[in-house]
Amino acid sequence: MKKQIILGVLYVLLFTSCSGDESIVLINVDGASNEVTVNPSTQINLKEKAKFKIGAAVKVADLQGDVNYSNAVRTHYSQITAEYEMKMANIWSSSTSYNWTSSDYLVNYAKNNNMEVHGHTLIWYNSFPDWFKNAKYDSIVFESKVKIYITDVVGRYKGKIKSWDVVNEVFADGGALREEGIIKTVFKDPIGFYGRCFQYARAADPDAKLFYNDYSVVLDSGKRAAMKNMVKKFKAKGYPIDGLGDQFHYGNDTNKQTIISGFLDLASTGLLLHISELDIKVNVNKSDSYVFTDAETQKQAATYKYIVEMYEALPVNQKFAITTWGVTDKYTWLTGWWHPKEYPLLLDNNYNKKPAYQGFLNGLK
């Protein structure tokens, strides 16, 4: 049996079925050769196949405002993360008040749809509220206030938010402690402060898995060494840490071997690993004339596939989740922040599965 379906202007999909198996061959309508091998079950969704959580960064406005978005989240994902609504600047509205509206909404949404929540993020240099920064607290008052914040936030969602990025992006490129933000000016020993933040989170919810999260970890050996060193210090001091996240905002041109060897090095910590903000840029040169060609979509699919295969090769007790930073190309944060012509995610603007989705799916065991 053969069917032909035209998807947009780019592809003709030939579905073939022989001896019960199905395969899809993607053929560029201009005749260029191009092939994707597809799993026998073309209908299966990521969350159904994966043995670990498949997460998505989401925004309340999109969940409420676009029913297709919400349906896509429910169909493909088993975990959500707030793209920004659980950051400190959003929750800690003043010295005497919290704004729980969005975080409560997301936690209830996850519960109603049988998904888990990964909390992002308790401490991030980029998200201290202005009122807090302007107060110019000394280290003692600073830490006592942060301790109350962590206790209140983690405590409010005890048992409901199963994991937290306790601290995000402490290290600059190369591994030195980041200069931006206020922590380096307030604390003589920032790492000690971060370690105590993990303790405060553990005390507020002993069952929540606690992560340190950063970007370019598998590419930047200096940053990775600094992270491993921090983990060692935490262990020596008894500060609790369960896992490490590498954001994985990478490009289609990133060297595969570098990613894989960096990831293996990270795995040597024995901690849970989280691919925490995965998106794969295709317009790596930020070109206004960029065209997302068939060849580029295939390359992106192959990139997703090897990243997922690499993750699957971890010991089972180190697998936690792979989270994509967004749901559809339509709302990716990279459009605007990176370039208006960007297509980094698994679903296209119309919520159709891209070859990238199939690449991810094929990478799963």
Q: Which of 10, 22, 84, 177 binds ligand XIL (CB under 6 A)?
A: 84
Q: Which of 45, 79, 163, 168 binds ligand XIL (CB under 6 A)?
A: 168
Q: Least distance to ligand XIL from the beta carbon of 202, Å?
A: 21
Nearest-10 Cα torsion for 53, 56, 60, 61: -150
Distance CA 113, CA 7 (A): 30
Distance CA 300, CA 289 (A): 19
Q: Is 169 a catalytic residue?
A: yes
CB atoms closer than 10 angstroms to residue 102: 18
Cα separations in angstroms, 175 against 128, 178, 211, 363: 22, 8, 18, 31
Distance CA 259, CA 332 (A): 23
CB atoms closer than 10 angstroms to residue 253: 12
83 or 342: CB nearest ligand XIL: 83
Q: Least distance to ligand XIL from the beta carbon of 307, Å?
A: 17
- Is the preceding peptide bond at 121 cis, omega within 30 degrees of 0? yes
Q: Least distance to ligand XIL from the beta carbon of 30, Å?
A: 35
Distance CA 124, CA 212 (A): 11
Q: How many residues bind ligand XIL (CB under 6 A)?
A: 6
Query: Nearest residue by C-beta to ligand XIL?
Result: 333
168 or 297: CB nearest ligand XIL: 168
Applying the rule CB under 6 A, the residues between 304 and 333 that interact with ligand XIL are 333
Number of separate helices (H) and strands (E) present in the chain: 14, 12
Q: Least distance to ligand XIL from the beta carbon of 78, Å?
A: 20
Applying the rule CB under 6 A, the residues between 227 and 266 that interact with ligand XIL are 247
User: Which of these, 250, 251, 252, 230, lies nearest to 241 by C-alpha position?
Assistant: 230
Based on its alpha-carbon atoms, the radius of gyration of the chain, rounded to whole angstroms, reads 21
143 or 277: CB nearest ligand XIL: 277
79 or 247: CB nearest ligand XIL: 247
User: Angle, nearest 10°, between helix axes 221-237 and 190-204?
Assistant: 60
Q: Which of 27, 47, 53, 83 binds ligand XIL (CB under 6 A)?
A: 83
26 or 161: CB nearest ligand XIL: 161
Catalytic residue among 83, 85, 116, 277: 277
Q: Least distance to ligand XIL from the beta carbon of 322, Å?
A: 15
Q: Least distance to ligand XIL from the beta carbon of 280, Å?
A: 14
212 binds ligand XIL (CB under 6 A): no
Q: Is 48 a catalytic residue?
A: no
213 or 358: CB nearest ligand XIL: 213
Catalytic residue among 35, 169, 309, 312: 169
CA angle centred on 196, ends 191 and 197, rounded to 5°: 95
User: Which of these, 276, 286, 360, 289, lies nearest to 324 by C-alpha position?
Assistant: 276
89 or 314: CB nearest ligand XIL: 89
Distance CA 190, CA 221 (A): 21
Catalytic residues: 169, 277
Instruction: Give the residues lining the site for ligand XIL (CB under 6 A).
Output: 83-84, 168, 247, 277, 333
